[in-house]
Amino acid sequence: MIIKILGTGCTNCKKLYENTKKAIEMGQVAASIYKVEDVKEIMKYKVMSTPVLVIDEKIIFKGKVPSPEDILKAIFNEMLNKNKG
């Protein structure tokens, strides 16, 4: 599982990165997190608010900083969806 955090480097973006790291530790999920800070890269996702949490190229949260618990829930949801598909 590949998780990307899109954001131009503001405090909320850093917070989202921290929360995502915590979520992965809490859930013992095998995932790698990448920070995407380049504006041109970010714009490819057609978002208008940052930070954005992307799981396997799918936009999960944008413009907010969810708690580690909520992020973990979203990660598990994505895993379930994939197994179904």
Binding site for other proteins (CB under 8 A): 7-8, 10-13, 39-40, 42-43, 46-51, 63-64
Smaller CB distance to other proteins: residue 51 or 72? 51
Residue 59's DSSP bridge partners are: 54
Active-site annotation holder among 10, 39, 43, 80: 10
- For the bound state, the minimum distance from the C-beta of residue 51 to other proteins, rounded and expressed in Å, comes to 7
Smaller CB distance to other proteins: residue 40 or 84? 40
The answer to whether residue 10 is catalytic is yes
Measured over the CA atoms of residue 57, residue 61, residue 64 and residue 69, the dihedral's sign is negative
Tokens in use for 53? 């949490």
The answer to whether residue 13 is catalytic is yes
What b-and-e string marks burial along 50-64, b requiring 16 or more CB atoms within 10 Å of the CB? Answer: bbbbbbeeeebbeee
Q: Catalytic residue numbers? A: 10, 13
